[in-house]
Structure 1
Amino acid sequence: MTLTRRSFTALALASFAMPAFAATEPRWYSDGGDLAAGGRDVVAYFGLKSGDGVKGSAAHSTTHKGITFHFANAENLATFQADPDKYAPRFGGYCAFAMSSGYFAPGDPDAWTVHDGSLYLNVSKTIRARWALRRSSHIASGDKNWMTHFPGER
């Protein structure tokens, strides 16, 4: 068997992913710290052009749909509280590329994209680049898969 770029990417993604829609999969991805986006300030992403996410602080935190969000300052906390679903990562912070393929995989808060007013995380910056090649179709597939598992959730 020849290992192509496509098959290597599929194998790499599968090594992080679990079968889609496992009964025990939580609504939000957390790396074990029970913090959304690894403690990054989800509002700050909307002002960034590139780079890694901005670390938030426990001094500026809130809980939304059962998970804690940290923010860099009180202004970003207030912005989030005014419209949390606008700023919370899509697909519960799981990898957007994996969700488009029907799997859950961790979302890396430093492999992010803001597109059409929504925040998406991917398992890595390499996967983010692949996801971006067909972003619109991946988002549509991800939406369909997400709604299958979490009806009524954004």
Structure 2
Amino acid sequence: MKLKTTFKALAAVAALTSASLSFAADIDMNADVNDVAIQGYDTVSYFTNGKPMQGNAEYTATYKNAIYHFSSESNRDLFRANPAKYAPQYGGYCAMGVALNKKLDTDPTAWRIVNDKLYLNLNHAVQKKWLTDVPGNIQTAEVNWPEISSKTVAELNAE
């Protein structure tokens, strides 16, 4: 009897582990422990409203296994139609950090749209540095991203 109960418990744990892994945000996406991207901000609002707006869990979409929140149904639908257009560059990691071979978190209020692409930074102080050479920093980040995108934050910190 105990063996049967133990087997059921192990099967349940395996199923839960498998389910949680299948929904974990991709390694190249910056998401919180609940797989929510950019701290729940509406990524479409940067383009449509010209400013960051907090999203609502009522309107969600997934992209690369990260969950995006939107302030309206129409913004969610715009994202679903073309997620690559609206998703932040470098998986939502700090653009300056990527230029420096790092994966850093971001402040959704430290942002810029450049050539119709959304870039986020760690904070406003880092963004100020990033803004001193936007084309150069983007060029460097574009070279670095393919190499660091498949590494975890812990792996990069160990280097």
Distance 2:70 2:59 in 1: 5
2:122 aligned with 1:113, yes or no? Answer: no
Q: Distance in 1 between matches of 2:131 and 2:50?
A: 15
Query: 1:49, CA displacement in angstroms?
Result: 4.2
- 1:35 maps to which residue? 36
| TM-score (norm: length of structure 2) | 0.73
CA RMSD of aligned residues (A): 1.7
Contact 2:27 2:149 in 1 (8 A): no
Gap runs ≥5 in structure 2: 1-25, 151-159
Deviations 1:65-108 (A, max 9, x none): 11000000011011101110010000111110010011111111
Q: Which runs of 4+ in 1 moved over 4 A?
A: none
How many angstroms apart in 2 are the aligned matches of 1:77 and 1:113? 20
- How far did 1:56 drift? 0.6
Displacement of 1:147 after TM fit? 1.5
Question: For 2:49 and 2:136, how far apart are their aligned partners in 1?
Answer: 24
| Structure 1: gaps of 5 or more residues | 1-24
Larger % of helix: which? Answer: 2
Q: Given that residues 85 and 117 in structure 2 are in contact (C-alpha distance below 8 angstroms), is that contact kept between their aligned partners in structure 1?
A: yes
1:59 and 2:51 are equivalent in the alignment = no
Give the structure, 1 or 2, with the largest relative contact order (CA under 8 Å, sep 6 or more). 1
The total of aligned residue pairs comes to 125
Q: TM-score, normalised by structure 1?
A: 0.76
| Identity fraction in percent | 31
